[in-house]
Amino acid sequence: MADGWRRLLEEESEHQWLTLAMFTAFVVVGAFAINATEHFVGDRIAQVDALHKGALVVHIEYHDDGESYTALVFSPSEGYHLFTEFADGANAEVYTPQRNDLGGQVNFMKAMPNGEILLSVEPNRVVGLLDNMHITYDYTNIEENFTVLDVADFASDEGTHRLMLTQEGSRTS
């Protein structure tokens, strides 16, 4: 058996060309598959009575009750919308292209243990959404400009501690 494999590997044969052709076909099919998903943004909202039917979900965070959510959606004809849909079916728009077109500038969106949804659209600021409240955490008194990339929360007996991942220029800290 070993002699047969050795002869097959020592000589050029149609098996080698067949293997090379199969590998090339696999690479080409893989390249097409990667290219096809390059512009995939998110799932389409298909529910008939949904607020932004036909838009693509870019990011979604569910609230503690499991029924409410805050979503950033993109509609090619309109732009980015950031809204909260509550368990009772009520909607609260946070950013729309018509009023304040900041939805495309959302750096991150994260649900915190206290039920607050945090996001950042401007340097030195973090926005919190809690129920129907819109809370702005302003860090402009710091002399340098930074972009908030992510936030982590830790709750203990001593209180809640928040850690921010920021970027100043081309460095992160």
Report the distance separating Cα 118 and Cα 69, nearest Å. Answer: 13
**168 vs 12, more confident:** 168
The amino acid present at 68, given as its one-letter code, is: S
Indicate if the pLDDT at residue 97 is higher than 70.
yes
pLDDT exceeds cutoff 80 at 101:
no
Of residues 50 and 53, more confidently modeled = 53
Chain segment 9-48, per-residue pLDDT in tens:
666 666 777 788 889 999 999 888 777 655 554 555 545 4
pLDDT attached to residue 30 = 87
The reply to whether the predicted model has a pTM over 0.75 is: no
Task: Return the pLDDT at 26.
Answer: 92
pLDDT, average across residues 141-162: 83
- Whole-number Å distance between alpha carbons of 120 and 160: 19
Question: pLDDT tens digits, residue range 61-89?
Answer: 888 877 888 888 888 778 888 888 888 87
